[in-house]
Amino acid sequence: MVDGLEADVVSLAMPADVTKIQQASLIKPGWENENPNNSTPINSTVVAFVRPGNPKKINSWRELDNKNVDVVTANPKTSGGSRWNFLAFWGAITRSGGSEAQARRFITGA
């Protein structure tokens, strides 16, 4: 039990969350060395939900950069999942030919 929560399986986004489980002696130090390149086996999917009928015609991450679209996501300072959301936003720009400066403007709204 960590933070008062019991679980048989956990899916965590951030190393600090895994460290809490290790500090509670629920996993042994060095667990990450069991996998090649000290990797963590995980699949992660970021999904955006739109209103029924998709009235604003949102079909890609880039379309979220619109003053008429409100995005609700958890606080990336406290949520590992929200940090993945920001990486998805960043990648929507940089993986489609945009620059890092454009990605920064996309995320910050500046």
Report pLDDT digits (tens) over 38-80: 776 666 666 778 889 999 999 887 788 788 888 777 777 877 7
Q: Where are the domains of the chain?
A: 1-43, 61-108
- 5 DSSP β-pair partners: 2
| Residues 89 and 66: beta-carbon distance below 8 Å | no
What percent of the chain is predicted at pLDDT more than 90?
12
Looking at the chain, the number of H-run helices and the number of E-run strands are: 3, 0
Give pTM, 2 decimals: 0.52
